[in-house]
Chain A
Amino acid sequence: MAVAGVLGVAACGGQIAANTPASNGNNFVSGNGTSSYFKAGSRLAAPAVSGSTLSGARLSLSSYRGKVVVINFWGSWCAPCRSEAPTLAVLSEQYQSKGVRFVGVDIRDSPASARAFVQNFGISYPSLNDPADEIALAFRHTVPPAAIPSTLVIDRNGQIAGRVIGQTSYSSLGNILAKVTAGG
């Protein structure tokens, strides 16, 4: 039997090329994350996902209908996730007043580590606990997250307007949010 080898790292870091659902997706590279913005009309509807949060509450994506939602797939063990966490914390507060809500999806993590992470980085938005990766699986027909971290932006109509694969930067996610909140 072969030894497991050096596993557990490849899922972390955005090495996988972006896969845009429509050819008119406006691709631009920023930081080390590959980000895509999908124009209105070429967007796919986000699946209805729900689950329990790290604090034990029920959370359903449909309860955010009418708001712009940022979904960030993360894990406390993942180095790029730790690196982007302060940026996400800042952006979530800046865009709060513009009707943007952030939701985390905690992947391959233990509740203890995840709670310590959230507290450590001062993250105020809720995170869904997804031990079996069912939420990522629910996005497979639309714009699937392709690495950890991956970040999706869902517009006010519940359609996926953008994606960042790998570590987000203030400008990569900020650019998408500026367009989507402006109604683009």
Chain B
Amino acid sequence: MTDVRSPQAGNGAAAPGVAEEPADVAEETIAGVADEIGTPRPGGFGAVAWARWAWRQLTSMRIALVLLFLLALGSVPGSLLPQQGIDPAGVQQYFTAHPALAPFLNALGLFNVFAAPWFAAIYLLLFVSLAGCVLPRSFRLARTARARPPQAPRHLSRLPNSVRYETAMTTEEASAAAAAFLTRRRFRLSQGEGWLSAEKGYRREAGNLLFHVALMGVLVSIGLGGLFGYKADRLLVEGTSFADTVTDLDAYHPGHLVSPNDLAPFSLTLDKFSASYVASGPDRNQPESFNAHVSYTAQPGDAARTYDIQVNHPLNVDAVKVYLLGHGYAPVFRVTDGQGKVVYDQATPFLPADQSTYLSEGVVKAPDAKPQQLGFAGVFLPTAVDVSGQLESAFPAPYLPAVSMIPYVGNLGLNNGVPQSVYQLNTTGMHRLATPVQVLTPGQSMKLPGGAGTLTFTGYRQWVSLQVTYDPGQVPALISGIAALAGLVLSFLVRRRRIFVRTYRGDSGRTVVDVAGLARSDVGGGFEAEFGELAAGLKSVHDHDSSPRSEETE
């Protein structure tokens, strides 16, 4: 509270000394910070006392911050160790590389951190902590927002803003006139014998309440997304299709209450992908635009519709969003084995190793080639150039597409059942065939030595990587976020202020009117001006009231 006095009107007596804070002002701090500071230890040894103490601790701001920190700390192993849902092959490799350590880490759930019981315990505790903190406050705020103003203090002249003047009216008339005046100005009133309390600015409490309820809304929305949402990735080559089922997704991260039956049953075909790049200048090789032209059916049997998925322009099917994340080239290879049979003929996605030239790397696996399994590892160059004997790509667009592949024969390691990446060749059971490095352009073949077979580069297609996301909490979270912001702004901008009026008979026999004002949390200032205006208004009402004077009896 400020110690500044308002300009005194008329003959108002300036009360001396420091403004004493009325008792009722301190008791209602806005966010109940007071009860966090001095959390009392349990008085006795009763279970109830301990439970109450534990609850107070859990719902304190300090514990909430500790839990938040633990949550951040707990997700660290998720980025250091391979995770089951994202990289099962990596987990397998880790088990092979660290046979002693891996089972121990696995028991701690470190290969699937976000599904580990201890991780769930942290975020559930955090949720309970936040809910336990915010809910009681919301109830308190709701009570405050509906409360009537308290009784007027006895000595109004001690308040920081006060005026005193006399009027010709009786005390009752003066009270009634003041009540009418303040009601017109949308004050909420409490009245008693010779006193009047008026309060305005309850929207501050309403705003505060809105903020807290919206905060709960944000928490619940995030929970909804975590329980019922899912996220999946799919790499799709031009001319091929996929359906939103678990078997047809590359990576699948379901919420805790999502079952495979819950996935939206759409299917989608990539008809054509086009990209354009800056051809010259300082931004040469930079992408200009991407467009994935797709056709999709929302339900099996529905009519197919078309859509252009672009960056930040996802396809929306039944609240499921399909985002375009990346793209690349898929050279088409045909492999003929040693017995003359075609054992492989398909577009093979290669991953870009250089984002500016789209030099891409990939492998071809022909596990059913005879007499031995065949594997190839190599590069695809969209615009192949020879830079002093070194094969490079000059531009990301496919102007001079070429591949260079290194052949291997032996055991691909696929038949033992251990899942492996389709982008890597496990060459431990294979040996490299001695062939000179060959650059193949579309239509060209390379014969493998020893009659092991032939590899033909028949052409190329493009692929896109798509992310399928369903987050039922997204819209509620947005609405809650906006509501929280609105509530916060309201609670900052609106000031709660009280006007007290006491009317009594002075020594001279005339009616004395004491008017005092009090702004709570007057951060922005400006209450003094408002008070001056209100006091002047009240005074003029009391001076110029035309009601007939009654006998002054008392």
Contacts and interface: CB of A to CB of B under 8 A. Distances in A.
Interface of A: 1-13, 15-16, 19, 32, 73, 76-80, 82-84, 107-108, 110-113, 116-117, 119-120, 131-134, 136-138, 140-141, 144-148, 150, 167
A18 B367 CA distance: 30
Given A80-B417, A113-B343, A133 B248 contact: yes
Given A6-B90, A13-B88, A79-B419, A107 B250 contact: no
A80 B261 contact: no
A107 B331 CA distance: 20
A175 to B, nearest CB: 20
B449 interface: no
Contacts, number: 191
Interface in B339-397: 341-346, 349, 351-352, 355, 365-370
B351 A3 contact: yes
Contact of B235 (A8, A19, A138): A8
Interface of B: 84-90, 233-235, 240-252, 254, 259-261, 263, 265, 267, 269, 287, 290, 300, 311, 324-328, 334, 337, 341-346, 349, 351-352, 355, 365-370, 413-423, 463, 465
17 contacts: A2-B326, A3-B351, A6-B87, A11-B247, A13-B88, A15-B84, A16-B246, A19-B261, A79-B414, A80-B417, A80-B419, A83-B417, A84-B417, A116-B341, A134-B267, A140-B260, A144-B246
Contacts of A145: 245-247
Given A4-B235, A140-B245, A83 B416 contact: yes
A22 to B, nearest CB: 13
B369 to A, nearest CB: 7
A140 B351 contact: no
Contacts of B465: 2, 4-5, 7
Contact of A4 (B267, B325, B346): B325
A10 B251 contact: yes
Contacts of B337: 116
Contacts of B290: 1
Contact of B247 (A9, A19, A76, A136): A136
Contact of B325 (A1, A73, A141): A1
Contacts of B413: 79
A126 B420 CA distance: 27
A6 B89 contact: yes
Which residue of A112, A147, A150 has the most chain B CB atoms within 10 A of its CB atom?
A112
A146 B240 CA distance: 21
B246 A147 contact: yes
B132 to A, nearest CB: 32
A160 to B, nearest CB: 13
Chain B interface, >50% SS class: mixed
Given A3-B352, A141-B261, A10 B86 contact: yes
A134 B300 contact: yes
Given A19-B261, A167-B417, A146 B247 contact: yes
Nearest to A31: B417
A2 to B, nearest CB: 5
Contact of A132 (B269, B326, B328, B416): B269
Contact of A116 (B84, B368, B420): B368
Contacts of B84: 15
The 5 A-B pairs with the shortest beta carbon distances in the complex, nearest first, are: A83-B417, A116-B368, A110-B346, A7-B250, A132-B241
A15 B419 CA distance: 11
A7 B417 contact: no
A15 B85 contact: yes
Given A116-B369, A145-B245, 13 more contacts: A6-B86, A6-B90, A10-B85, A10-B251, A10-B252, A11-B247, A76-B367, A77-B365, A79-B413, A113-B344, A120-B370, A133-B248, A134-B243
A86 B234 CA distance: 30
Contact of A138 (B87, B241, B300, B343): B300
B519 to A, nearest CB: 53
B344 A108 contact: no
Contacts of A12: 419
Which residue of B87, B267, B419 has the most chain A CB atoms within 10 A of its CB atom?
B419
Given A2-B326, A4-B351, A112-B346, A140 B248 contact: no
B247 A6 contact: no
A12 B365 CA distance: 16
A32 B416 CA distance: 13
A83 B254 CA distance: 27
Contact of A1 (B246, B327, B369, B370): B327
A9 B421 contact: yes
A27 B242 CA distance: 31
A76 B365 CA distance: 10
B345 A11 contact: no
Contact of B326 (A4, A10, A113): A4
A134 B300 CA distance: 8
Contact of B422 (A2, A77, A84, A117): A77
Contacts of A141: 261
Contacts of A150: 247
Contacts of A148: 247
Contacts of B261: 19, 140-141, 144
Given A1-B311, A140-B261, A144-B261, A10 B414 contact: no
Contacts of A15: 84-85, 88
A11 B252 contact: yes
Given A2-B325, A79-B415, A110 B345 contact: yes
Contacts of A119: 368
A127 B70 CA distance: 51
Nearest to A116: B368
Contacts of A82: 367, 414-415, 417
Contacts of A7: 233-235, 250-251, 422, 465
Contact of B249 (A11, A73, A84, A110): A11
B266 to A, nearest CB: 9
Nearest to A142: B261
B523 to A, nearest CB: 45
Nearest to B244: A137
Nearest to A150: B247
B380 to A, nearest CB: 14
Contacts of B269: 132
A138 to B, nearest CB: 7
A131 B417 contact: no
Which residue of B248, B355, B416 has the most chain A CB atoms within 10 A of its CB atom?
B248
B111 to A, nearest CB: 11
